[in-house]
Each structure stands twice: as C-alpha cells, then as structure tokens.
Chains A and B, each alone.
Chain A
Amino acid sequence: MSSKALGQAGTLESCDALVMVLLDAGKEGIVLEMDGPSLVSFEEDIRVAVSETLASLGISDAEVRLSERGALDCTLRARVEAAARRALAVLEKAGVEG
C-alpha cells in the first residue's frame, strides 16, 4: 500500500482489529486482504461488515487490509469506519491543497 490517502485504525490487542484503508489504489471494487483467528468461522461476515461500512460512507473502490484479533462485529465496523474516515480526510486535504 502507498501512503497516499491511507487511513489506519485499531490495534492488534485482543478483541480488536487493525484496519488499513487505501482509497486511491487505482483498483475497482473493494479489495480485501485479511488475517486473524476468526476468519475460519466468520470470513463472510467480516467481508459483509467491511463492504457495508464502506458503502455507508459512499466508498465503492478501496483496498483494505484487516488483521483481526477476535473483534466483535461492532468493533470491526468501528475500526473500518475510523480508518476509512481518516483516509477520506487525507483525500479531502489533498484536494484542498491540490
């Protein structure tokens, strides 16, 4: 991931997730890369949580890297939203300055 329009939120502590969202990756759709102990059972739920959260912010194209450590759905969504909002803020700032 480049550092352009990158937002990161969360931690690698238990019950949390570390999420990075890159908005100007030049790729179409949501490209999601994940690791963590819950993927075996909840990979599809996590994919849905990521896409729904990004969609609620009007984001349809993004590269997302997610490392989860047993985070609940509400925590995953919070971390994706925080990372995405931070990335949006970078884009907005670049737009203003550009």
Chain B
Amino acid sequence: MTLRRTSLYIPGNNPGMLLNAAVYGADSIVLDLEDAVSVAEKDAARILVRNALRSISYRDVEVTVRVNSLSTPFGREDFEEIVPLAPSVLRLPKCETADDVLRAEKLIGELEEKSGVPAGSVKLIPIIESAFGASNLPEIVRSSPRVAALNFGAEDYTADLGAERTKEGRELDDIRSRIVAAARIAGIQALDSVFADVNDSEGLFEEAFRVRRLGFDGKSVIHPRQIAIVHRAFTPSEKEIEYAGRVVAAIEEAAVRKSGVVALNGRMIDAPVVAKARKVLALAEAAGVHRIEESRP
C-alpha cells in the first residue's frame, strides 16, 4: 500500500525548500512547476527541479512533480526534462478528459524509452479542478494503467463553478463523493484538495476527518505544520484498530469453526464490514501504528 495521507507542495523555484522537502514527514512531496511558479520563472524552475531530482536524496518519501498542462506552452518541456529523472508520479493539472491523460501517457512512454527509464514506471495523478473534468471522471480513471490516484483541486473547481468555497465545504460534498466513487472504479486512491488557511488547525482537522469519512485516502498540504494534523485525521485511531482486529479475529475464528454467521457485540459481521476492517488494519500497518500479525488469534 502506497501511503499518500499527505502530499506536500514545494514551490519549484525555491532551492531551500526543495532541499528540505523530505524532512517534514509528508508521505508524498509535490515539486510544483505549475501554480507556484510565475510565468517568467517557468524555465528556471524546470531546470532547478530537474537538478534537484538528480542530486538530492528524498529517501523513502514519494517524489512527484506537478508539471504544467500539455495545453500550455510549458508542459512539453516540463515532461522532457523531468521524465528522464524517473519521478514516481507526474501530477497533471486541469485534467478534463481521457485524451488529456492519453497525451501525457504517450509522451511519457516515448521519453521513458529514449532515456532508459523502465517502461510504465512514471505514474500519473490527474487533478480534477473544473466542471468539465468532473463530468468525465469514469473515462479519466479508466484511460490508462498509469493513473495511480485522482486528485481534487477545490480552489479552481469552485472558481470554475462560480461557487463560494466555505469552511463547512457543503458546496463540495457532491463532487468529492463522485471523485471517490470514480477512483474506486479503477481501484485507485482519491486525494483531496489543500486547506488554504495554514493558521486554522482545527478547521484543517475537521475537513481532513470529514473527507476521510467520504472515502478519501489523503489530502494535499501547503505548509509543513499541516502534515501532523492531516496524518492524525487519516490514521486509524487505537479504538478503530482494536475493533477492526476483533472483526478480523471473529471472521477467521468462524472460518475455522465453519460457521456461516458471525456476530460481534450483537452486530452481524458480513463481507463489507470485514473488508472495511481489513482496510483499517492495512492502513494502520502502512502508517506504522500497528502490525497485522498482532490482531490474529
């Protein structure tokens, strides 16, 4: 399981931040060549990020790069400079159609071959941030085996809709649920948008916890201080882990006894309950807060 509870954005033209990107404890980092870089600095940021990928060890942190869209004058050069360095993932902003993914996939394939990067190793995370993109979710997730997750971009999405983005976030419930459902069609992760107010820790936790309940697997962050808060929201609590362990133990014991019906605390344990429990334990193990063996009788 690839943990992506947090994806920390790092401005691509800031050498100090590129150097320290791995030390904050995010599961994934996003070296950003898109919105964090002004048009006048696109070339310098591209060269800087390429050199950082060549020289800086990011250890076990997943390294991803948000390139510019291929429909801009900067996208193609971003791909040409970055793909040969074999980042784990390219994040595709303003993805609206399956064709956007296929164009990226074709170019990545050519560049992988040319530069000796193993075929298929650079994955894609489309970012959905427009009404048009939201109308094509199933096609986008099924368009390529490189698609590793679906990312939501709430700021651009609400701007496109002409909606107000509120802290309660009710205006986003529908699209968020549709993004989770689309991600599950392809068996991939759903990743939520950033929470812009870096001084509101409580609001961040509430939003992160709410989107986890909707089914999201993680959330983008824009400041290191947001990481621990989002991790807390996306990591199963002791109580959840303990309950999940008892569910799995009960179902395994029932299998030994060849018993068809299982109940725990008066509640029937059926396949979806067991599936959720196993997911909780897998997530807890990946997050390093639990070992699956310990839950077994």
Which residues of A pack against B, CB within 8 Å? 9-10, 13-16, 71-75, 77-79, 81-82, 85-86
Contact = CB atoms under 8 A, between A and B. Distances in A.
Contact of B43 (A10, A16, A75, A86): A86
B56 A74 contact: yes
Given A74-B51, A74-B54, A77-B51, A85 B16 contact: no
A75 B44 contact: no
B62 to A, nearest CB: 20
Given A15-B16, A16-B15, A74 B44 contact: no
Contact of B51 (A13, A16, A75): A75
Interface string B46-60: 011011101110000
Interface residues of B, number: 14
Most buried by A among B15, B16, B52, B55: B15
Contacts, number: 43
A84 B32 CA distance: 23
A74 B56 CA distance: 8
A85 to B, nearest CB: 7
Nearest to A77: B51
B254 interface: no
Interface in B36-83: 43-44, 47-48, 50-52, 54-56
B43 A82 contact: yes
Given A15-B19, A72-B19, A78 B51 contact: yes
17 contacts: A9-B44, A13-B16, A14-B16, A15-B15, A71-B15, A72-B55, A74-B51, A74-B55, A74-B56, A75-B48, A75-B51, A78-B15, A78-B47, A78-B48, A78-B52, A82-B44, A85-B47
Given A15-B16, A16-B15, A72-B19, A10 B55 contact: no
B224 to A, nearest CB: 16
Given A13-B14, A77-B51, A78-B48, 18 more contacts: A9-B44, A10-B44, A13-B16, A72-B15, A72-B56, A73-B55, A74-B52, A74-B54, A75-B48, A78-B47, A78-B52, A81-B47, A82-B44, A82-B47, A82-B48, A85-B43, A85-B47, A86-B43
Contacts of B48: 75, 78-79, 82
Q: What does DSSP make chain A's interface, helix, strand, loop or mixed? A: helix
A79 B15 CA distance: 10
A73 B15 CA distance: 11
Given A15-B16, A72-B19, A79 B44 contact: yes
Nearest to A19: B44
Contacts of A10: 44
Contacts of A14: 16
B199 to A, nearest CB: 23
A9 B19 CA distance: 18
Nearest to A82: B44
Given A72-B55, A74-B54, A74-B55, A16 B44 contact: no
A12 B74 CA distance: 25
Contacts of B54: 74
Contacts of A13: 14-16
A36 B222 CA distance: 31
Contact of B15 (A75, A81, A85, A86): A75
Nearest to B17: A15
Contacts of A72: 15, 19, 55-56
